[in-house]
Structure 1
Amino acid sequence: MKEHMEDEVTPLFTFGVIADIQYADKDNGYNFHHTRMRYYRNSLQILGHACRCWDVEEDPRRRPAFILQLGDVIDGYNRELGASERALRTVLQEFGDCAVPVHHVWGNHEFYNFSREELFQSGLNSRDKGEGEREENVNVGEKVREKFSSMEEVYAYHFSPAPNFRFIVLDAYDMSIIGRNQRSEKYKQSMTIILEHNPNEELNMPPSNIDALEGRYVKFNGGFSQEQLDWLDRVLNSADENKEKVVIASHIPIHPFSADYVCLAWNYDKILPILYSHKCVVCFMAGHDHDGGYFKDESGIHHLTLKGAIETPPLGDAFGTVFVYEDKMVLRGRGRISDRVMMFQ
C-alpha cells in the first residue's frame, strides 16, 4: 500500500475522484488503435475497491462528502453487446455502496451508449444535485436570475460542498458530432468545425499536420458552445464576488501541457482566457487521457488529468481522495494515481 502524506490539520471537506472506468462484461482487449490493453471487467473491481475505501473512513470530517466521477463510466463496446443499460446498472449499483452523492461527468463513451435525451433520464444525470437556479449580483444594483431554460440541453451545473468553495461540472460534448441529433444546429456546426481541420475519412484518426495541436480535432473529442462559455463566465463572476474558490470538472482536459494534444477540447483556447479573467479558479480536473497529466499554469490554476481505471491491470488501483484545506488541496492517490499537493494562489 502506498505511503501517504500526513495531514497538518483537519480538512474542511474531502471528496473522492475516479476517471474512465469504462466497464464492460467482456474479455480484455485493445483500444481503437490496437496499441494499449484495456481491462474491461477489472475496472469494476477497481471501482468497488474505491467505494469500500471511501466508505470505511470513520471520521466524518475525513470521509468523502461526495464522489467526482470524471466520465466514461461504461465502455462503448456495451452498445455492440446490447448491454448498455445492464452495464450502467451494474456500475451505478457499485457506486450505490458509497453513502454519499456522486457527481457524474459525461464523456464520449456515455454518448456511444446513449443519446443525450436518454442520459438526462438516466442515473448519470446528477444535475439535480447542483444549483440550477439562483440569484446572483452580476452588476452593481442589478440582479439576474440564472435559469437552465437557456441551457436545458447542456449538461452543466454547479454546487457548493462547503462555505467559500464551488464546483462546476462542464459539458465537454456540448459541441460534438457524437451525442447530438444529426438534424440539430449544434451537430451541423460541430461537423463544420471538425471537417475544417480533419481531412481523414475516419474522423477518429487525428489529422497529419505540422501543428500537433490540430490533432485534437477528432470525433472522440468535443468542445464548449458560446452559450456554455457565457454561462461559465457568469458563474465565475458570482464566485469572484462571493470570494469563493472554484474547482471545475470536465471529461476533456483544456490545457495543452496537462494531456496529450489528441485529448484536448476543440476550443480549449476559448475557455482558458475565461478562467484567467477570474481570480476564483484554483483547479481544473479531467479524465479522457488514460495516461493522466498535470500542469500548474501561470495563473496558478492546477490542471489535473486523472489516469484511467480502464487501463489499470488486475491487482492495481486508479482512484484518489482529495482533502481540501483553506490554502491547498491534497490528493492522496491509490495505485497509478500519484499523491499531489496543490497550493492555492
Structure 2
Amino acid sequence: MRRFLSSLVLLALLLWGIPAAGQAPSPKLYVCNQGEATVSIIDMTSKTLETTVDLKERGFSENAKPHHVVAEPDGSHWYVTLIGANTILKFNSNNKIVDRLNNFEVPGLLSLAPKKKVLYAGRSMSAVNPPKSLGMIDRSTMEVMKRVNTFFPRPHPLAVKPNGNYTFIASLATNQLMGINTQTRETKLTRLGGTTQTPVQFAMTPDGSRLIAGGQKTGQLLVFDATNAPSLSVIDTLDVGKQPWHPVIDRNSGLAYVPNKMSNSISVVDVSDPSVQATIRGDGLAQPHGTVLTADGEFLFVSNNNREGSHEPSGKNGVVTVIDTDTNEIVKIIEVGKYPTGIGTYGGQQVTMAGSDGEDGSP
C-alpha cells in the first residue's frame, strides 16, 4: 500500500509539473507576449509550450505590454516589466504574483547579479520621453533603493558585470553610454563619435572583459573593452544585419548570436577575435527579437515578433525558433502569443544574466 501511495504522489507531482525530491526542475524559458498581455513558459528540455500566464486574469488590461523578463538562478522567482502598467511584477516558481513595484514609469529591460540583491531596470524604448534614470530595486522587498541619473535621454540597453560590481546602460537617442560602480555609485560617461548607433541591448562575456551591443540604425555590432570599468572603449565594429536586437554570448564557446530584426537572420560572431562567422536564415525567423541559450550552449531559442504574419498556422501569433548551434539549423518552431519580445530563462543562458561569482548580498 505504501509503495502504491508513493507512486500516486510521484504521478501527481509529475502531472502538476512539480519536481520530486532530488530532481532538478526543468529549465524554463519565459516569453513576453507584448501584444496580448501574456507570458508563455516553455520547457527548454522538451522544447514545448508548458503553460501561458494570462495577466488579464490577474487584473491587468490587455495593454499591460509585458516587455522583458529575468529569473533567479535557482528558479525561485522571475520578474517581468509591464510597459503599459508602469509596473514590475515578481512571480514565484508556481507562477503566482508574490510582489510588485508600482509607479515605475515605462520599465524596459531588466538585469540582476545572482549573489547581490539588486534588480536593475531601464526604460522602454516605446516611450517618447521616459525618465533619464536607471532603477536599482531591492529584489527582496521590490522597493526602489536608488534612481541613478543617466543624464542622457531614453536609457535602454542594460548589462551587469559578472561580479555585480558594475552596471552599464546606454541611450537610444544619443551616442552616450554610462558605467556605474554599484558599490560607490561612481559613474563614468562614454561618448561615441560618428553616426548615432541607437544600441538596443548589451551582452557581456563571462569574464566581464568585453561588452557588445547592436546599433539599430547602423546595422553594426559594437565590441567594447570593459576591463577598465566603469569606462568603456570601442575595440571593433562589425557589419551584421538590419536592426540588430538582443544578442547573447555563449559562456562555453564565446560565440555571440545577434538577431537581426529586419533581416530575419542571426549573425554568429566570434567576440574574442571580432568577426562574423556565419549567418543563420530560414523558416521561423520572422523579426527575431530576444535570444537565450541552453546551459550547455547546444540550442539557441529566439523570440520572433512575426508582426507580418508570415509564420505559424494562423499568421497572427509570434513564434520561438529553436536552433541547433552545432549545425546552425532550425530544429523547431514553437507558437506562442502575439508580438513576443523580451525573453529570459531559469536554467539557461541569457543576455542580461550576470555570472555567479558575485561577492556578497550588498547592493
Q: TM-score range by the shorter chain?
A: 0.3 to 0.5
Q: Which has the higher strand share?
A: 2
TM-score, length basis structure 1: 0.34
Say which structure, 1 or 2, has more relative contact order (CA 8 Å, 6+ apart). 1
Q: Which has the higher helix share?
A: 1
TM-score, length basis structure 2: 0.33
